[in-house]
C-alpha cells in the first residue's frame, strides 16, 4: 500500500519535502496521516543538514480535510479513530481526547525548530487548511482555494462561513492570509527559490526569530485549534458524516482501490474467467447440444441458431475483457498498463511504465534514461535489425494494449448484429462481412506497424 505521507530531501540535503500522498482522495486526512506528518517533521528537525521544510500535496490539490467516509466506516465497525457510533450516543470528551492528538501532530509544523513552508495548489479546506496554516509561510497558486478564516478578520471570516465561500490564492495574498500567490505553473519554482533563500540563513538565527514571533500568535492558535477540534468531532459524527459510509459511492470507490492492488486485480480477472467458462458450459448443456440435433440448426436465420451465436459472441467478448481468456501475458499487460495510468504518484507510475516498456522492448524504445544512458536492449542495438535509436512514441504502446479492448467491442457489436438478422438478414450479412474483413486487415497490419 502506498504511504500517505512521503519524505525526501533536496539534492544538497538542505531542504526537506513532506508530501501528502492520497491524491485519489484529494489527500484527505485518514487516521494515520497526522502521526506521519509529525514523524516527518521530527525527522527533518533531527537532520543537521536540513535548514527548511516544505509541505505539499500530490495530485490535483493540497488537502480536502478529514476523510469523512473512512471515519464513518470505522465507526460502524466499532473502531473509534476519533469517531463514535452515534446510535450509542456521542461523547464529546472522548472524541476530543482522541482528536486532540491529531491537532498536536499538525502543530508540530508550528513548533518546528526549522522554518516550514506550505505549497498549496488546487484547494486546501477544513483540516487541510489547518495543516497548511500551521506552517510559517504559505505560498499558493493564484487559482487555488483555501477555507481557513482565523487570520482575515471577523467580518470577512463570517462572510466565508455563512456563505461557504472559498477564497482564491490571489485574494488570500491581498488579505494578508498568506505570503504570496503565483500562477500555478510557477508555484514549485517560487517555493524552491524561497526555500533556497531560507536555507542560507544560519539555523540558530532562524530558530530564535521563529520563537519570538510565535510567542505573539501561539495563544490565538491554541484557542482556535481547541474549538476546531471539538467542532470537527461533531461534524464527523453528525448524520451527514455517518451517511457517507452507506452511500453507493463509498462501495464503488472502495472496490476501485481494491482492484488496483495485485490481489484484487488477480481475483477480478479470475472471477470473470470463471463466469465465462461457466457460461460456455451452460450454453453447451442447455442450448448448443440440443440445437445440433434440431432441424433448425442448419437454418442460419432461425431464432435458435441466432441466439446460440449471440451467446457465443458475448462469452467471447468476456474472454477478451479478461485478456484473451486465460492467456497470462495479456492479463499481465493489462495490469501493468492499469498501474501505469492509474497508479499513485509519478514515481510509482514511472516504475510500472518501465516494466511494460521492458516487456515490449523488441519493438518499443522509450529513449534515454535520466542519467543520459540509452535504455536500449541488446536486440535494439543489433545493426542487422536496422533498429533506429529514435524513441518510440508512447501512443503506440497505448494502441497496442487497447487494441485488445477494441476486439472486445467488436465482438459485442457482432453479437448485437447477429440478433438483428431475423429482420434484415441480407443487410446484416453484408455489414458483418465488412466488419470482419476490416478487423482482420487491422490485425494483419499490427505487426508491421509496431516496427515502423
Task: Please tell me whether residues 214 and 266 are part of one structural domain.
Answer: no
Question: What residues pair up with 53 in beta bridges, in sequence order?
Answer: 16, 116
CA-CA distance, 258 to 267, in Å (whole number)?
A: 10
Whether 441 and 347 map to the same domain: the answer is yes
Q: Check whether residue 178 and residue 219 sit in a common domain.
A: yes
- For residue 146, give the DSSP letter: E
Closest CA to 37 of 3, 79, 78: 3
* DSSP H helix total and E strand total for the chain: 18, 9
Residue 39 shares a structural domain with residue 124: yes
Query: From CA 350, how far away is CA 356, in angstroms rounded?
Result: 10
For residue 3, count CB atoms less than 10 angstroms from its CB and return exposed for 0-12, middle for 13-18, buried for 19 or more. middle
Q: Note the pLDDT tens digit of each residue in 36-76.
A: 999 999 999 999 899 999 998 888 888 887 776 655 545 44
Chain segment 397-441, per-residue pLDDT in tens: 777 777 766 665 665 566 556 555 545 555 545 555 555 555 445
Q: Tell me, yes or no, whether 331 and 283 share the same domain.
A: yes
Clarify whether residues 162 and 99 are in a common domain.
yes
Number of domains in the chain: 2
CATH code, 151: 3.90.226.10
Contact 112, 45 (CB under 8 A): yes
CA angle 15, 16, 19 (to 5 degrees): 135
**Residue 160 shares a structural domain with residue 276:** no
- Contact criterion met (CB below 8 Å) for 82 and 96: no
Domain presence at residue 13: yes
* pTM of the shown model: 0.49
Q: Which domain holds residue 88?
A: 5-246
For residues 229 and 277, membership in a common domain is answered with: no
- pLDDT tens column, 224-251: 667 666 666 666 566 655 555 455 556 6
Amino acid at each position: 500500500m502506498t504511504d500517505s505521507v512521503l519524505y525526501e530531501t533536496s539534492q544538497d540535503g538542505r531542504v526537506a519535502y513532506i508530501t501528502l500522498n492520497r491524491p485519489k482522495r484529494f489527500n484527505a486526512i485518514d487516521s494515520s496521516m497526522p502521526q506521519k506528518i509529525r514523524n516527518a517533521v521530527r525527522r527533518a528537525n533531527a537532520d543537521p543538514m536540513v535548514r527548511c521544510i516544505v509541505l505539499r500535496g500530490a495530485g490535483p490539490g493540497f488537502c480536502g480535510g478529514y476523510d469523512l467516509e473512512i471515519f464513518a466506516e470505522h465507526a460502524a465497525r466499532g473502531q473509534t479513530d476519533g469517531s463514535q457510533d452515534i446510535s450509542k450516543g456521542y461523547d464529546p470528551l472522548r472524541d476530543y481526547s482522541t482528536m486532540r492528538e491529531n491537532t498536536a501532530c499538525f502543530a508540530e509544523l508550528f513548533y518546528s525548530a526549522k522554518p516550514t513552508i506550505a505549497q498549496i495548489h488546487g484547494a486546501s479546506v477544513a483540516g487541510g487548511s489547518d495543516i497548511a496554516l500551521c506552517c510559517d509561510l504559505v505560498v499558493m497558486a493564484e487559482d487555488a482555494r483555501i477555507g481557513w478564516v482565523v487570520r482575515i478578520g471577523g467580518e470577512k471570516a463570517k462572510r466565508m462561513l455563512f456563505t461557504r465561500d472559498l477564497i482564491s490564492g490571489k485574494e488570500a495574498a491581498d488579505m494578508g492570509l498568506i505570503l504570496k500567490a503565483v500562477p500555478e505553473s510557477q508555484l514549485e519554482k517560487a517555493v524552491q527559490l524561497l526555500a533556497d533563500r531560507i536555507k542560507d540563513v544560519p539555523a540558530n538565527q532562524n530558530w530564535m526569530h521563529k520563537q519570538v514571533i510565535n510567542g505573539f500568535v501561539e495563544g490565538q492558535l491554541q484557542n482556535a485549534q481547541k474549538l476546531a477540534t471539538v467542532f470537527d468531532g461533531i461534524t464527523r459524527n453528525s448524520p451527514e458524516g455517518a451517511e457517507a459510509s452507506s452511500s453507493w459511492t463509498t462501495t464503488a470507490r472502495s472496490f476501485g482501490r481494491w482492484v488496483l492492488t495485485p490481489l484484487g486485480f488477480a481475483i477480478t480477472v479470475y472471477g470473470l474467467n470463471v463466469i465465462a467458462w461457466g457460461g460456455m458450459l451452460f450454453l453447451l448443456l442447455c442450448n448448443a447440444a440440443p440445437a445440433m440435433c434440431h432441424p433448425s440448426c442448419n437454418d442460419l436465420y432461425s431464432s435458435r441458431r441466432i441466439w446460440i451465436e449471440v451467446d457465443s459472441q458475448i462469452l467471447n467478448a468476456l474472454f477478451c475483457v479478461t485478456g484473451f481468456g486465460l492467456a497470462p501475458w495479456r492479463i499481465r499487460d493489462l495490469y501493468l498498463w492499469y498501474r501505469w495510468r492509474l497508479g499513485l504518484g509519478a514515481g510509482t507510475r514511472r516504475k510500472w511504465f518501465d516494466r511494460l516498456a521492458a516487456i515490449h522492448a523488441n519493438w518499443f524504445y522509450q529513449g534515454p534514461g535520466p542519467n543520459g544512458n540509452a535504455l536500449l536492449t541488446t536486440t535494439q542495438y543489433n545493426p542487422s535489425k536496422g533498429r533506429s535509436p529514435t524513441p518510440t512514441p508512447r501512443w503506440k504502446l497505448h494502441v497496442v494494449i487497447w487494441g485488445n479492448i477494441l476486439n472486445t467491442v467488436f465482438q459485442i457489436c457482432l453479437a448485437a448484429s447477429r440478433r438483428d438478422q431475423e429482420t434484415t438478414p441480407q443487410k446484416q450479412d453484408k455489414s458483418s462481412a465488412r466488419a470482419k474483413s476490416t478487423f482482420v486487415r487491422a490485425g494483419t497490419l499490427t505487426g508491421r506497424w509496431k516496427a515502423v
